[in-house]
Each structure stands twice: as structure tokens, then as C-alpha cells.
Amino acid sequence: MNEIIHLLNEYGYIILFLSLMLELIIVPIPNEALMSYVGVLCFHGKMNIILSIISAGLGGIVGVTISYWLGYKLGTPFFRKFGHYIHMGPEKIEKMSKWYEKYGKVLLLVSFFIPGIRHFASIISGIIKLPYRSFAIFSYIGVFLWIGTFIWLGQAMGPKWDIYQVEIKKWLVLGSILLGFIVLAFFVVKTNKEIIKESLLLIFESSFKRFKSFMKIKLIILICLIFFVSFFILMVGLIQDTISNEFDKFNSIFKTIVFNLFNQNWHGSMNFIYSLSTWKVLVTISLATILVILINNKNKWLEMLFFIASLAGILILSEGIPWIFNFMLGDNVSKNFPNEKSMLILTVLGYFIIMLIRHNKAYMLNLIMFFCFIFVVVLFTISSVYLHHLLPSDIAAGFVFSSVWLSGIIFSLELFRFVSLLKENMREEKLLKAQTK
């Protein structure tokens, strides 16, 4: 970033044009910070705000246009040949094309404000053959909205930009996460509208007309929802505090306690505990989870499906979330925020424990297993700090992020289980009525 700013000070509008063009052809450049800095230069009279917006806008337009035509020319042959290997064959492309033609124009307007999304929006538009005129109108307007917003913010704040930029970045991160959840929820609802409608009607009927039926699973769903909301609120607060450097004292105190309590003699034990995060152990726990699901034999295919979804999701999130934070915030956060291994171990081990507890009626044994799980999580945190000097706040962040994901998965699993029970109950009632007639 410092090199780009140095070049900007030397060559001005040319560098602004090139940096916007390159980013929108999938070259990761932190252009929000760059454009805000340009706004500060405009405040001091070193650059002209109109010329800055025009040069940056033209660079962005060239970038998205190149990306669009790359997708247009190269995308279709690729998916025709290899798309079926990744479930993106011609039929699915056609379906995506119809969906994107209906909603993609609006998404193009806002996609530039979301890191990661703006780099692929233009290529996808080309791949699905979105008409160039529609693409150009909405994407070009989106480019200028994005550029104008950040350059104007930089100019409006002037010398105070350095004071407020961390706060602005914090809300941009939180806004991006919230927008991501909204887009994901919208996509899920849109593609499963009839199933969701039928399920909601069944749940509504069960809640009010059969209030005393299925009380156990209703209570489980409520508890899962409370956990999900609580962890989500905790995650938002943790992000805010991390960006504001509120964890420095906590990290220092935690590290001091760990290294005072555990000397060099504990090295072997710590290595053993930390080995829980190795792929060999994680795969073993995953296989044990599958075995438990098969032994329980209660909605086994549903539990298996959500287990696979939890694994696939956490693998993507454990790589993607740290990349997003480091891309958007750079040196303002640790490179290990949130910690990848803590995300993986909590999700894999957490699902295993939940499957052990879910159908077990020995409540004392369930309580013991739960506390053993908490004990393992604490020991893993200590071993990570002891062996690799990782920040405790990064490890805690990994646990919190994966807790949001895991609680959401379990909440969804129990909802699906509840709906399947309601449908089965309705079938039994209809069969009973038919027999009595």
C-alpha cells in the first residue's frame, strides 16, 4: 500500500486509473484506502476531485469491461467442457442466467462495495451472457457510486481521515458481513420458496393448534436459536473490539499466566493437545461422527447431510474470513484473525459432541461430555499460545465465528427434523382416519 501511495504522489491520476483498472480485473489492491487518501489530497488542493473521480471511474470501467468480455469469451466453453465436474453444467448456467437477468442488475450496483464480490461480478455477468447494454449501465453506475463515495468521504473528513478511518473500516466490515448474510438468506429463500412456505405453515399450525405436541424438539429449536443470536452478537462485538485494539491487555495477561503456569516440561503434553487440530485427528473425529449418526439411526440422512454442510462451510469460512479481514483491514488486525485451526476443531468436535448428546437420555453423562468439550477447547487455547505464541483473542475469535456457524447449522437441522416429524404425524393421522372410515 505504501508503494502505491508513493506512486500516486508521483504520477497522480495515471496511477489512480491503473489501480482501479487492475483491481477490477482480479488484482487485489486495497482501493478503498487509496481512494480515501485521494479525497484527503483533494481537500488539501493537491488533486482535483472531479478529475480524480473521472480518472478512477474510467479505470474502473475499463477493468469491469475487460472482466466481462473475459467471462463472455472464455467462460461458456469452459463450463460446457468441465462444468459438470463442479455441478455447473449448461442447465445450471441457464438457470443462473435467468436468475441473474432478473436480479443481477441491482446486485451490480452494490457489488462494488463488497470486497471479493466485486472481483467476480463482472466475470459472472459475462459467463452467463448478461446483455452487455444492461451490464454496462448498471456496472458503470455502480463503479462511479463506489468511487465517488470513498473519494468524497476522504475529502469531507480531510485531515481527520486518519482518526476515523479505523472506525469506518470497522463498520464496512460489519456491513459486509451483514449484507453477506442477507444475500445468502435471500438466495436460499428464493430457490426454496415452496418448501419454506409449506414448512412455515406446518410449524405455525404445530405452534398454535398443537401447542403441547413435540415440546422437546420445540425447546431444542428455541435453545439453538438463542445460542445462534447470542454468538452472532458476541461475534459483532468481538470484531469491533479487535479493530479498536481493545484486546491488547487481555492478550498480554493471558500470555503471562500461561507462561508462568507452564514451563518447558509441559512441551510434550502441549504438542499432544495441539495435535487435535491436525487433519489426521479431524478426519478421525469426522468418521467417528458418521459412525455415531449411523448407530443413533434417527433421521440419519438428515444429520449426515447437515454434517457434510457444516464441514464444507467451515472449510470455506476458515480460509475466506481471515482473507477478507486481512484484505480489508491490513495491519489493523492480526494475520491469524480469526484463527483457522480453532474454527476447524470447534466445528468438527462440536458436531461430534452434539450427535453424542442429542439422542442420549443419560443427562448426567451428557453434562460430563459437555464439560469435557469445554475443557478440551480451553486446553487447545493454552497449547496454541504456549507452542506458537498465537494471540488468545485470535483463537477466541475462531471459536466464536465457528460457534455462529455451528449453532446456525444445528438450528437448521432441528427445524428440518421438526418439519419431517410434522409431515410424518400428518400422514399417520390421515391413515388413521382412512382406517376408521
Q: Are residues 145 and 225 in the same domain?
A: no
Q: Would residue 184 count as lying in a domain?
A: no
Give the residue, 286 or 33, on which the prediction is more confident. Answer: 286
Question: What is the rounded CA–CA span in Å between residue 95 and residue 186?
Answer: 16
Residue 59 clears pLDDT 80, i.e. is over it: yes
Q: Would residue 386 count as lying in a domain?
A: yes
Q: Which amino acid is at 185?
A: A
Q: Are residues 204 and 165 in the same domain?
A: no
Question: What is the rounded CA–CA span in Å between residue 301 and residue 307?
Answer: 10
Residue 46 clears pLDDT 60, i.e. is over it: yes
What's the total number of domains in the chain? 2
Q: Are residues 18 and 88 in the same domain?
A: yes
Q: Are residues 78 and 204 in the same domain?
A: no
Q: Would residue 188 count as lying in a domain?
A: no
Q: Are residues 130 and 247 in the same domain?
A: no
Q: Are residues 168 and 281 in the same domain?
A: no
Question: What is the rounded CA–CA span in Å between residue 183 and residue 177?
Answer: 10
Q: Are residues 360 and 407 in the same domain?
A: yes
Q: Note whether 411 and 223 are within 8 A (CB).
A: no
Q: Which amino acid is at 309?
A: A
Q: Would residue 118 count as lying in a domain?
A: yes
Calculate what percentage of the chain has a pLDDT beyond 70: 70
Q: Which domain holds residue 92?
A: 2-175
Q: Are residues 222 and 154 in the same domain?
A: no
Question: What is the rounded CA–CA span in Å between residue 136 and residue 142?
Answer: 10
Cell numbers given for 268: 510434550
Q: Are residues 157 and 108 in the same domain?
A: yes
Q: What pLDDT is stored for residue 223 in this prediction?
A: 85
Q: Would residue 112 count as lying in a domain?
A: yes
Question: What is the rounded CA–CA span in Å between residue 391 and residue 336?
Answer: 8
Residue with cell 448478461: 130
Q: Which of 141, 175, 209 is the last residue of a domain?
A: 175
The pLDDT of 383-412, averaged and rounded, is: 91
Q: Would residue 20 count as lying in a domain?
A: yes
Q: Are residues 355 and 389 in the same domain?
A: yes
Q: Are residues 291 and 376 in the same domain?
A: yes
Q: Are residues 158 and 245 in the same domain?
A: no
Please state the pTM of the whole predicted model. Answer: 0.60
Q: Would residue 272 count as lying in a domain?
A: yes
Residue 17 clears pLDDT 90, i.e. is over it: no
Question: What is the rounded CA–CA span in Å between residue 411 and residue 214?
Answer: 16
At 243-273, the pLDDT tens digits run: 777 888 888 888 888 888 888 888 888 999 8
Question: What is the rounded CA–CA span in Å between residue 230 and residue 428?
Answer: 37
Q: Note whether 20 and 147 are within 8 A (CB).
A: yes
Nearest one of 306, 384, 309, 292 to 345, comparing CA atoms: 384
Q: Which of 147, 175, 203 is the last residue of a domain?
A: 175
